[in-house]
Amino acid sequence: MVVIAIIGVLIALLLPAVQAAREAARRMQCSNNLKQLTLSLHGYHDIHDAFPAKMSGKMRGAWGNRSGSGSENCDWSAHLHLLPFIELGTKYDEITASSVTYPRDRTTTRFNTRLGAFLCPSDGGGNSIEYMTTNYMICLSDVMYDSESSSNDFIKRSVFVRKDWRGMNFISDGTSNTLAFSEAVMGTNGNYSMVKGGVQRGIANANENPGIKCNPAIVAPGGELTSPYDFTDESYKYNLANGNRRGGRLHDGSALTTGFSASTPPNFPSCFSKQGGSKEEDPQWKWGVYPANSQHSGGANVALFDGSVRFVPDTVDFNGGTLTESKTGPSNFGVWGAMGSPCGAESESL
């Protein structure tokens, strides 16, 4: 009995260490994935003298078809156009074949393959999703309002813009002071109401004081949202099975699926604004507070444009998120917002 008790104590002592070692390995793999994606940005830039657009028409080069043949044909993500630069050129050719209509096509099977280069081992959310998924988001600067517009003033603050290709010279704050990618937790079946993987719906004017507007989402000890969007409700236009969630489609350039904003810190609740019409609670592709988040304890990995990867804690300064977005000049959202802005004339760094 004494020997059994000693063995039990030893196992109890060793298990946390084993789990910690496994998580350290997963976190390292996640960090390496982010680095490779950032290097692929530079590979793309070397050839095309620009970074890929946030959303664009199907193209086989940097400029290609800027307008597409309809708005949905312009929805292809920056992630998609990086595939040839991470040894996935064959998959890129398969996806961009002329028979594919647009990123939310439900009928084709070419979107079903999950790609390890875009998945963080610490997040198992993608295992239950039928679309190609991603844990890595491009930085949409420190703004969230109308991030898909091709004419809105707020796009002046982002490297990644819809139907526009911006080069290194746009990052006037310096590549070591500007965010390129972050992690994000994917929504999962049965867990769509959790803060990390879910999105709080119907927050009016979320771009104003996002730190205040989105905080009400945290109300329960388990971190569940007050009124989460029900992605399984077939009465809505989109649903869980179609990949409409954080990270649900790596080939779709919508802010909800492949972007993040540095207006609120890592692991802050996600939320989107109400929109007009009869479907005010529909998922908002363009307007939303979509922060970096991860399954790592205490923060999330991010990649900077200089190719370095950093772990940013939840406690990073964001000025409390009590101000509204800035169209020009320094960010209103502290050090974190300054890191998201490529040309705000800020000197802050992580």
pTM of the complete model: 0.84
How far is the C-alpha of 148 from the C-alpha of 134, rounded, in Å? 19
Give residue 215's pLDDT: 76
Q: What is the mean pLDDT of residues 10-30?
A: 69
Residue showing tokens 């074949």:
97
Q: Are strands 179-183 and 299-304 parallel, antiparallel or unpaired?
A: antiparallel
Res 42 pLDDT > 70: yes
Give residue 55's pLDDT: 83
**Mean pLDDT, rounded, of the chain:** 76
Res 159 pLDDT > 50: yes
Strand, coil or helix: 175? helix
Give residue 266's pLDDT: 92
Res 87 pLDDT > 80: yes
Q: What is the mean pLDDT of residues 299-306?
A: 94
Res 312 pLDDT > 70: yes
Where is average pLDDT lowest: 89-103, 168-182, 249-263, 268-282? 268-282
Where is average pLDDT lowest: 20-24, 102-106, 111-115, 152-156? 102-106
Give residue 7's pLDDT: 80
Res 303 pLDDT > 90: yes
Give residue 250's pLDDT: 87
Give residue 244's pLDDT: 67
Dihedrals phi, psi of 272, to nearest 5 degrees: -130, 155
Q: What is the mean pLDDT of residues 278-302?
A: 74
How far apart, in Å, are the Cα atoms of 16 and each of 10, 21, 284, 294?
Answer: 11, 9, 40, 20
Instruction: Please state, for a pLDDT cut of 90, what percent of the chain lies above it.
Output: 25
72 contacts 102 by C-beta, under 8 angstroms: yes
Q: What is the DSSP letter of 268?
A: P
Residue 207, token pair as written in the block? 């771009």
Q: What is the 3-state secondary structure (H, E, C) of 206-244?
A: CCECHHHHCHHHCCCCCCECCCECCCCCCCCCCCHHHCC
Q: Which residue has the higher pLDDT, 34 or 349?
A: 34
pLDDT in tens, 68-86: 444 446 778 899 889 999 9
